[in-house]
Amino acid sequence: MNKKIYLTVDLGFGDSGKGTIVDYLAQKTQAHTVVRFNGGAQAGHRVVMNDGREHVFSQFGSGTLAGADTFLSRFMLVEPLAMVNEAEHLESIGVPHPLSRISIDPQAPITTPFHRAVNRLKELARGDSRHGSCGMGIGETMVDLLAYPGPVIRVGDLSDRNILSNKLRFVQTTNQAKLEMLTGKLPDHPQVKEELDILYDTSWVDFLAEEYCEIGRQISIVSEGYLENILNRDGAVIFEAAQGVLLDEWYGFHPHTTWSTTTLANAEQLLHEAHYDGAVERIGISRAYSTRHGAGPLITEDEQLTQLLPDACNGDDAWQASFRSGWLDLVMLDYAVRVNHLPSDINSIALTCLDRLQELSSIKVCVGYQIHGQVVRQLPIKKNLRNLQAQEKLTALLRNAEPILEIVERPTDLLSLVEQTTNTPISILSNGPTAGDKAFVKHQERKRNRPIQVLDVSTSIQAA
C-alpha cells in the first residue's frame, strides 16, 4: 500500500494561499480526498486552473477541481445554504453533481442564519471597536455548541424534519436572548433592521427545515470509522486548514481571534482517532509578504504596499473592512511555527505569492520589533494554554511595536532568512495562482537545532 498524508496549516492571519497549495498537492499526488479539519463557511480559498477555470472554495475541499472528494470532519462548521450555492458554481465550471462528492461527519455543527444575524448585530454594536469578524456566524455557532451541546443542530439532524424544526426554534430563541446585552448599543443602521427581521421572523424555521432536509438527501452523512477507511486507502489524502495560526482562539492576539483551533491540533487528533501510523508531511503555508483582513495587529502594515499589491480574492467589505498588506514579518512567522510545534513539528514551508514581489522596486523584511526601546526578535508562548488575559497583554504590547526592517537584495536571500529564522526548510515555491506556477524544492530533512522556547508573558518583553 502506498499511502501518504499531507497536513497543511496557514502560518499567518489567513489568506496565505491554502487553496492554491492544496490544489497543487492534489494534482501532483493525485490525492483521492481532501479533509477539512477546522473553520466553516467563512473560508475563501481561491484556485485557478491552467485552463482558466477559477473557484473560491468555502466548504468543498480545494482539491475538487483536481478530482479529489471532500470529507468534512466534526470540527468543520457546516452552512448548508452556502454549500448549495458553492455546489452550483462548481457545476457551472464543469464539476458534475458536486454534492455527491462531499461526505460529512454527522457530529459536524450547523451554522444558521440566526447565528449570522447575531454575529453581525454584535459587530455593528461595537462601532469602531470591531473584533474583525467575518460576519458569517462562526463565533456564535461555537458559543451555542459550548453552551448547549445537545440541542444544537448537527449534520446528522438533516434527515429528520421534526428534530430540525424543534432545534431550529431553539436556536432562534437562544440567539434572540443574546440581544439583551446589546440593549441601547445598536446603531441606527439599515443592516440592523435586516438582521433583526431574520432573528424574529418565525417563518424562517419552516423554510430552513425544508431546505435542510432536501440538502440532507443530497449529501453523504457517514458513519463512525469513515475517516479510518479513507486513510487506509491507497493514495494521498490532504488535510486542508482554514484561517491562520495567528488567529487561533488561544494562540492568536485576543480579542482579534477566531473561535476555532487553527493549528494542526484537530488534524492530529483525527489521525490519532483513526489509528493512522503511516507517513505524514506537515506543511506550513505563508505568503512572501504579510496580509491581514480585519481588525487587529499587523506590525509591518504599509499603506503604499497595500495599494501596490491589491488582492484578487480579498477586498474591502462591510464586516472585515480593509485588506491590509505589509512586509514579511519573520517574528510572527517564527511564532506561528513554534506554536505548531506543540502538537507536532512542521516539516516544511510553502512560500506563496513570490511573483507579487517582482512588481516591487525593493523588498523588505521584518527581523524584529522595537517595543518601548527594547529589541524583540521572538514572541513568548504562554505556558498556560487557556489564558486569554496573557494573550490580551501580548496584543496590547504589539500595539506599541515598531518593525525593524531590512532590505533584501535578492529573492534567494528572502528564502534563506525564512529558513534560518524558523529553522524549517522551504519545500514549495509559488510564483503565481496556478499549479503550473509552483515547484517543489528539494531539501534534506532538517532537525531543529534551536530549542522551542516556551515563556510566560511575565518575561522581559512584558517588563519593557
Task: Give the cell for residue 236.
Answer: 494521498
Would you state the torsion angle of the CA atoms of residues 199, 202, 203, 209, taken in this order, to the nearest 10 degrees? 80
Q: Tell me whether residue 15 is one of the annotated catalytic residues.
A: yes
Could you say which of 10, 15, 23, 105 is catalytic? 15
Closest CA to 266 of 126, 445, 107: 107
Q: How far apart are CA 107 and CA 101, in angstroms?
A: 19
- The x, y and z cell numbers of residue 165, run together, are 424544526
d(CA 300, CA 316): 19
Contacts of 52 (CB under 8 A, 6+ apart): none
CA pair distance 193, 116, nearest whole angstrom: 14
Contact 414, 375 (CB under 8 A): no
Query: Largest Cα–Cα distance of the chain, in whole Å?
Result: 65
d(CA 222, CA 161): 19
Are residues 215 and 88 in contact, defined by beta-carbon separation less than 8 angstroms? no
- Answer yes or no: 115 catalytic: no
Burial class of residue 203 (count of CB atoms within 10 Å of its CB; 0-12, 13-18, 19+): exposed
User: How far is Cα 59 from Cα 44, in angstroms, rounded to an integer?
Assistant: 9
Active-site pick, 10, 23, 32, 45: 45
Going across the sheet that includes 438-440, the strands are 220-221, 102-104, 69-72, 33-36, 235-240, 3-10, 280-287, 348-352, 426-430, 438-440
Closest CA to 121 of 107, 139, 102, 108: 139
- Which amino acids are annotated catalytic? 15, 45
